[in-house]
């Protein structure tokens, strides 16, 4: 599995509605929905919250309620309720389950430490690529690059990883040699400062297995920290959307590393619903500004009446 996606499954459908429990769809990172989980208005909410689930990596139960409902359910962990003024049928409950590819760790150097890192990383859920430094070519979608080649082609691999923006770049070396290698890189100071050397948390590690443990602990800590920042940013964006659209937001669960870029949210200028800013969403450009809509009906109403409204929240 190279691309993340979300499984959307209808678990409850209140009559009248054309969708039935068990209907399902896949939601891809560009917002494309393949399958059937309701009409265009329901799809707008499914698209938005599926992309949110991809950001957090957490499953979510989405409750879509028609019109303005007086007795809103209390938000629960792992669940969110949204009112949909355009929904013509009954309430829907849709389970959103993100499917994320294993993060890739690239280890340059088939040394005892390199092999130990690859073995332990595979046990904790990473897809590993271990090979000679000369054959290692970092990519922007690598989660981590660990250079454990003991002097072989270190500068090239480190430079490539830093230029690609790999989140974690570690060099297995003593403090003195690691500083010398880092200083030799033909890169700006702020990029060189991103090299973790000696790689790993300071736990007094000695054997290759202990050093691998220290390196994995440092990588996990960094990824969790970055995920917490991403989750906080997503929560702030969602709070703004809730205030504008009247949704009930769910408390965030334990953060995971984001699989996709944060989703921008637009407010439908006709009905006030939150809509994902994605290529798959219904949209219209007018006077140099782009507007997003939950359905073709809202778009047509906007076109006919020229309803004013902000394009992005």
Contact 218, 122 (CB under 8 A): no
Is pLDDT above 60 for 232?
no
Is pLDDT above 70 for 263?
yes
Is pLDDT above 80 for 226?
no
The per-residue pLDDT for range 65-75, each reduced to its tens digit, is 886 544 444 55
Model confidence band, residue 250 (pLDDT cutoffs 50, 70, 90): very low
Neighbours of 102 (CB within 10 A): 13
Model confidence band, residue 262 (pLDDT cutoffs 50, 70, 90): confident
Neighbours of 13 (CB within 10 A): 23
Please indicate, yes or no, whether the overall pTM of this predicted structure exceeds 0.75.
no
Right CATH for 104-225 from 2.40.10.10, 3.40.50.720, 1.20.210.10, 3.30.450.40? 3.40.50.720
Q: Which of 224-228's residues contact partners 24+ apart within 8 Å by CB, and which partners?
A: 224/255, 224/257, 226/167, 226/257, 226/258, 227/57, 227/255, 227/256, 227/257, 227/258, 228/255
For residue 276, the 8-state DSSP code is E
The domain limits of the chain are 5-101+259-305, 104-225
Is pLDDT above 50 for 32?
yes
The per-residue pLDDT for range 268-296, each reduced to its tens digit, is 898 888 899 999 999 999 888 999 998 88
Contact 41, 125 (CB under 8 A): no
pLDDT score at 150: 93
The per-residue pLDDT for range 38-69, each reduced to its tens digit, is 888 889 999 999 999 998 888 999 999 886 54
Q: Which residue from 151, 193, 142 is spatially nearest to 172, judged by alpha carbons?
A: 151
pLDDT score at 39: 84
Q: What integer best gives the mean pLDDT of the chain?
A: 84
The per-residue pLDDT for range 159-209, each reduced to its tens digit, is 999 999 999 999 999 999 999 999 999 999 999 999 999 999 999 999 999
Least confident range of 103-107, 152-156, 282-286: 282-286
Contact 64, 84 (CB under 8 A): yes
DSSP for 68-94, please give it. --SSPPPP-TTEEEEEETT--S--EEE
Task: Give the whole-angstrom CA distance, residue 129 versus residue 118.
Answer: 8
CA R_g for the chain: 24
Which is higher by pLDDT, 292 or 255? 292
pLDDT score at 304: 86
């Amino acid at each position: 599995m190279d691309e993340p996606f979300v499984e959307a499954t209808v678990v409850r459908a209140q009559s009248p509605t054309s969708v039935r429990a068990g209907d399902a769809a896949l939601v891809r990172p560009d917002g494309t929905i393949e399958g059937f989980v309701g009409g265009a208005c329901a799809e707008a909410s499914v698209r938005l919250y599926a992309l949110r689930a991809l950001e957090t990596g957490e499953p979510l139960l989405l409750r879509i309620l028609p019109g303005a409902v007086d007795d809103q359910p209390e938000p629960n962990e792992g669940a969110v309720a949204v009112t949909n003024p355009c929904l013509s049928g009954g309430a829907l409950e849709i389970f959103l389950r993100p499917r994320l590819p294993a993060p890739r760790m690239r280890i340059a150097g088939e040394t005892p430490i390199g092999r130990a890192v690859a073995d332990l990383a595979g046990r904790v859920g990473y897809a590993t690529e271990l090979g000679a430094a000369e054959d290692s070519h970092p990519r922007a979608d690598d989660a981590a690059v660990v250079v454990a080649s003991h002097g072989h082609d270190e500068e090239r691999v480190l430079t490539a990883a830093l230029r690609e923006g790999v989140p974690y770049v570690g060099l297995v070396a003593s403090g003195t040699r690691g500083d010398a290698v880092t200083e030799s890189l033909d890169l700006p100071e702020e990029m060189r400062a991103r090299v973790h050397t000696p790689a790993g948390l300071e736990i007094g590690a000695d054997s290759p297995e202990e050093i691998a443990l220290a390196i994995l602990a440092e990588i996990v800590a960094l990824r969790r920290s970055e995920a917490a920042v991403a989750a906080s940013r997503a929560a702030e964006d969602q709070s703004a959307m809730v205030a504008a659209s009247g949704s009930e937001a769910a408390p965030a669960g334990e953060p995971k590393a984001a699989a996709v870029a944060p989703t921008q949210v637009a407010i439908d200028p006709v009905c006030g619903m939150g809509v994902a800013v994605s290529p798959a969403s219904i949209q219209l450009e007018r006077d140099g500004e782009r507007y997003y809509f939950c359905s073709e009906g809202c778009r047509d109403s906007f076109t006919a009446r020229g309803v004013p409204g902000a394009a992005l929240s």
